[in-house]
Amino acid sequence: MKPTLLVLAAGMGSRYGSLKQMDGLGPNNEAIIDYSIYDAIRAGFGKVVFVIRHSFADDFKATFNSDRFGGKIIVEYAYQELDYLPYGYTVPEGRVKPWGTNHAVMMGESLINEPFAVINSDDFYGQDAFKVLADYLTSIEGTKGNYCMVGYKLENTLSDFGGVSRGVCQADAEGNLTNVVEHFDIKRGEDGQVSHLLDGERFPLDAASAVSMNIWGFTPEYFQFSADMFKEFLDEQGSNLKSEFFIPYVVNTMIHNGDAKLKILKSDAKWFGVTFKEDRPFVVDKINELIAEGVYPSNLWK
C-alpha cells in the first residue's frame, strides 16, 4: 500500500498577510504545495489529505484537486476548527488561537489507514526529502511505533525578515530522536549568533543543530495516542488561551514513555519557506533556479 501525505494547510497566514498556501510562486502560478505534491507523486505517495478550514474551503478545493494533479494522486480533505474537540470539552471563552499542529494532524484520522507523512503547506522540502520519507514509510508498513522525521540544519532554515519557530532536536548514537524542544522567535543577530526568545530574554542556539521543519512520518496508531494526549493537554493547559498542542509534544511523550522510536532521516534536500511576505522573492528565485537545473519542469502540471 502506498503511503499518504497529510498536508497542514489550515493556517490563515497572519504574518504573511494572505493565504500563503495558495500563493502562486512558480512561473505558471504554482504554489509551494504544487511542488510538494509533484515530489510526493514521483516518490511513490498514493494519496494526499489536505487539512483546511471551512472559511476558505471552496477556493482551496477549486484550486487543489485531483484534476489539477492530472489524476496522479488521490485527493481528500479534512477540516480543522477551534471547536473540534473531544466529547465533553468546549472552547474556553476568549480562545481564538488554533489548537496547534498535532490537533491538525488528528483531523485526518478517518481518512488514513496506512503509514503517512505530515508536512506544512508553505514549506519547500525538496525532492530528496520525499524520497527518503516514502522509502522509510514503505519499509514500516504493518509495524507500530517506528516513526521518522527529516532533519534540517537550523542555520539553513532562518528568515532574514523576522523570527521563526523551530523544533530543535537531540539524537542518540543510532540517529534516533531523544528530544525535540520547540523554540520561538529564532533569528540571527548582527553578530551572527543565532538565538531564541524565552520569557522576554534571548538565549543562544547552536546554528548547526538539527531541527524539525514539521516533516514527519507516522503509522496510524499515532492518531489514538494523539487523542488520548489531547484530552490530558486540555485538562492541564486548555484554559491557557495561547497554549498549543504541537507535534513535538506528542512525539516527546511517546519516546519518553517507550511507545515509539523516531529515526532522524538524512537528506540532501534544501529547505526554504515563506514565513513573511518579504521571503517571497527569495523563494521565487530558488524555484526558478531548480527549474533551470532541470529538477522541475517550467510548467509543473502540463
DSSP secondary structure code for residue 142 in this structure: T
Quickly state the pLDDT bin for 12 (edges 50, 70, 90).
Answer: low
The helix/strand/coil state of 257 is coil
The helix/strand/coil state of 275 is coil
pLDDT in tens, 89-100: 999 999 998 999
Between strands 261-265 and 146-153, the pairing is parallel
Quickly state the pLDDT bin for 182 (edges 50, 70, 90).
Answer: confident
For domain 4-145+213-256+264-292, give the fold: Spore Coat Polysaccharide Biosynthesis Protein SpsA; Chain A (3.90.550)
Closest CA relative to residue 288, chosen from 28, 98, 52, 15: 28
Which string of DSSP letters, residue by residue, matches 29-67? S--HHHHHHHHHHHHT--EEEEEE-GGGHHHHHHHSSTT
Question: How far apart (Å, rounded) are the C-alpha atoms in residues 128 and 135?
Answer: 11
pLDDT in tens, 170-180: 899 999 999 88
pLDDT in tens, 13-71: 544 344 666 788 999 999 999 999 999 999 999 999 999 999 999 999 999 999 999 99
pTM given for the model: 0.90
